[in-house]
Chains A and B, each alone.
Chain A
């Protein structure tokens, strides 16, 4: 290996630096000692799910040292929130975890509503639950597809994407956008669900469990899939606690912690659903938990549709003119409504104080911390992105394992760089 010519760094420097990374791995007094290989995975690498860079120090096929390097997709979202103001930031939340834009919208809206003490009407909450569960399914489908393609089951990727495409079509018809919907508003949602949209979503939900069965036929009992994932990347509950992992990663370790159950929001306490947990917390458990979560999400979405059918015609947006835009028709005819519209668009302010609200997103606890000094712009907006914590767990799980396990681990931890880097 030493015969391979390198440009830039001379051999001596490189060796020195390498040994600093992992002292004691190679015995330099041994005349036959090997060399460690420093491999740079990413930021442009097929398996890093975006622009994550991972420096890996390899001893043959074994990973000695793993160091994730984030920040290649940093766009300064939190600062953008401070300079754009409360309302305009909604459109940026879409771009955090871009696989579940509606979930991000909801989390941000819930934080602002907590700060402003705004009550969302029941129908608005139900629509949010429906959209959040659809988002969860969409995000999990991406997880399943990308992880399968990383582990070589390329066809699965197309199976999951074709299902996701159908949800996109539904959302396109309902929210006007496939991706980046920006559909949730303070106090509710932008518009009501129409009856035909409800019917179409219900029809899709009815056939989806069969598709999950199909995915499972491809993977769950597959010996290769099992071997690639079982006992790989084991997370104990204590490790999850240490690395503040939440969501499916935590539940796969056997901890029954789901914010929808523990700290219900948007009326989740009225829904019937199970929280799947794993046993040992390896990649296979994380896969199994996510598969089951998709089934539970179908259940939740169906219940939400039932509730929507019962509350048809009810209010879906809070009637609070401090924060909620008046209907366009009244703006043109009423002086007060015009003033409301003007005030909200130009300088809607939230009361002084702080608020933190978290939702159970597809990748874990997605929380927004907002601090207001009573003006139209936030004093601080911090996003607790679960993906960042998931990335941090990579070295813990990967070090000492085979290089091939890296893709299982990255895939099963499930993160999106848009959210990690913000």
Chain B
């Protein structure tokens, strides 16, 4: 394989995955409105395109043409930087998520469907995930609004406390698979006959799985942990003062973070692209399996949002520090003990 060929393959993968995630994020806004409508005896958007499928496009056009307001006394530079900082990290994390095994077309192997097959993929995700908080903090602080400030304070406290649980649960999985590379983690799970196959399916990491899923809700600021927005008290939370495309950037960030987190859950706990009882499934079946599993978790995000009431801030913190963190630690210790004793 020549250098040019390798470059072109990498470029193609980047374009496919990046456009894929942006489109999924856009479609998620539609899905959110459609699913919530169905749960609430409503119809949902159905004017633009068949079944309202072009609604995200119409929304995008609307956002672009809306007037951008900057509140008096706002820190203009930070105010503009915050939406970008909020949207970028989640889009960047998608780079290491493997979506399909080695793509083989016409006997030629193009490698796994992932932008970067990093050996420290997990670290990369955690590092960038930690950066996402800056958009929220700065957005709330730069708005010069009390509601925004309170919202961003809450969000930052929450995201930081749940990141710990998130990291510890991921560590348990890393201990099980013995690798920080996401592709290798998937491959370690793919053999259904082995004891750690499908970290959840075979149950050894069930606790970690539950903790991880709950922590992803907190990490992505989704209901029932959406304190940063919390519209009854804080009007719109950190993005109260945002309008037009800047506001939309926060949402793109939120939805792509959801997509990444859903994909990560599948990769870490549900065997990524592996199909049960079909170990040598072709790559396109694997890709479909991966997308289907991710879709289930994306639906979970919506389902929970439109069903449950919201936690109170201190209850969430108590849950995070007093329940989830000890549980995650215990789980890590037990996992480590079991793995080393085997």
Residues of A within 8 A of B (CB): 1, 4-7, 37, 39, 45-47, 58, 61, 148-155, 157-159, 162, 218-219, 222, 224-225, 227-228, 402-407
Contacts and interface: CB of A to CB of B under 8 A. Distances in A.
A404 B233 contact: yes
A152 B39 contact: no
B46 to A, nearest CB: 17
A227 B232 contact: no
B149 interface: yes
Interface residues of B, number: 32
Nearest to A47: B232
B306 A46 contact: no
A218 B230 CA distance: 20
A37 B148 CA distance: 13
Given A7-B72, A162-B41, A152 B309 contact: yes
A218 B41 CA distance: 16
A248 to B, nearest CB: 20
Contacts of A4: 73, 141, 144, 149
B309 A151 contact: yes
B146 interface: yes
Nearest to A58: B150
Given A7-B72, A152-B223, A224-B311, A39 B306 contact: no
B5 interface: no
B39 A45 contact: no
Contact of B308 (A6, A47, A157, A224): A224
A324 to B, nearest CB: 42
Contacts of B226: 152
B62 interface: no
Contacts of A155: 36, 39-40, 306-307
B146 A46 contact: no
Which interface residue of B150, B308, B315 has the most chain A CB atoms within 10 A? B308
B299 interface: no
Contacts of B154: 61
7 contacts: A5-B144, A6-B144, A151-B310, A152-B310, A158-B41, A404-B230, A405-B312
B314 interface: yes
Nearest to A150: B232
A227 B315 contact: yes
B321 to A, nearest CB: 16
Nearest to B310: A152
A218 B308 CA distance: 8
Nearest to A5: B73
A400 to B, nearest CB: 14
A348 to B, nearest CB: 46
A129 B177 CA distance: 70
Contacts of B233: 47, 403-404, 406-407
Interface of chain B, helix or strand or loop or mixed?
loop
A77 to B, nearest CB: 29
A222 to B, nearest CB: 7
B153 to A, nearest CB: 8
A61 B314 CA distance: 9
Interface in B273-314: 306-314
Which interface residue of B144, B223, B309, B313 has the most chain A CB atoms within 10 A? B309
B42 interface: yes
Contacts of A61: 150, 154, 313-314
Interface in B22-57: 36, 39-42
B68 interface: no
Contacts of A159: 40-41
B224 interface: yes
Nearest to B315: A227
A149 B223 CA distance: 13
Contact of A153 (B73, B308, B315): B308
A158 B313 CA distance: 25
Nearest to A162: B41
Nearest to A404: B312
Nearest to B226: A152
B12 to A, nearest CB: 41
A7 B74 CA distance: 11
Contacts of B150: 37, 39, 58, 61, 403
Contact of A224 (B144, B232, B309, B314): B309
B232 A407 contact: yes
A152 B224 contact: yes
B72 A153 contact: no
A151 B73 contact: no
A217 B311 CA distance: 18
Contacts of A225: 309
Contacts of A406: 233
B40 A152 contact: no
A37 B307 contact: no
Nearest to B308: A224
Contacts of A228: 309-312, 315
B231 interface: yes
Contacts of A402: 312-314
Given A6-B73, A404-B312, A404-B313, 5 more contacts: A7-B73, A37-B146, A154-B40, A222-B309, A224-B308
A227 B308 CA distance: 12
